[in-house]
């Protein structure tokens, strides 16, 4: 299984790629996609689409995980994040199923505590994957945490399917 996970955003979109083989997971790629704030929104969305399409072609994922948009008081931010999420969904259409995970679910899966702060999530991502330091920016760590959540989710689904 190849999982491509995202923390969507218009300015920064974090991504992480995991493979699962023989019961273990491996983080094979991660990073952050950027769009220039000075460019018009349609240009930014197009640039994001080009970058994401390249990721899909490079990794050929079987499953896609995405952090679910959470309620925010800033409507402008929520709208642009939703637009970026739409670009990701469009790019994912020809690949695997997309599963959304709420921030609380991701924190619970990675730290065992649904109200964990960013620092706690970073520390446990570093520990679980044996990283030397937290990847930058935070959007990358969030995508890795989303990917870890997806690994747990899909492994559980496979275990339950075998049990029946």
139 annotated active-site: yes
Query: Strand 12-21 vs strand 2-7: parallel, antiparallel, or unpaired?
Result: antiparallel
Rounded-to-integer distance, Cα 140 and Cα 75, Å: 23
User: What residues does 32 pair with on adjacent strands?
Assistant: 14
Q: Which of 11, 25, 139, 142 is catalytic?
A: 139
Q: Which of 7, 11, 25, 142 is catalytic?
A: 7
Rounded-to-integer distance, Cα 9 and Cα 6, Å: 9
Q: Which of 21, 43, 58, 67 is catalytic?
A: 67
Rg for the chain, CA atoms, rounded: 15
How many residues does this entry show for the chain? 164
Catalytic sites, residue numbers: 7, 67, 139
């Amino acid at each position: 299984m190849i999982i491509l996970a995202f923390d969507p955003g218009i300015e920064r979109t974090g991504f992480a790629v995991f493979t699962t083989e023989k019961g273990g997971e491996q983080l094979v790629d991660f990073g952050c996609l950027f769009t220039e704030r000075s460019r018009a929104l349609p240009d930014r969305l197009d640039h994001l689409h080009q970058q994401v399409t390249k990721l899909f072609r490079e990794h050929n994922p079987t499953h896609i995980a995405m952090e679910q948009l959470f309620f925010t008081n800033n409507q402008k931010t929520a709208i642009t994040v939703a637009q970026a999420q739409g670009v990701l969904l469009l790019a994912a259409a020809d690949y695997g199923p997309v599963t959304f995970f709420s921030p609380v679910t991701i924190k619970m899966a990675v730290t065992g505590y649904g109200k964990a702060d960013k620092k706690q999530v970073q520390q446990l991502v570093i520990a679980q994957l044996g990283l030397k330091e937290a990847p930058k920016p935070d959007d990358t760590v969030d995508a890795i945490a989303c990917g870890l959540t997806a690994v747990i989710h899909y492994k559980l689904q496979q275990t339950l399917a075998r049990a029946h």
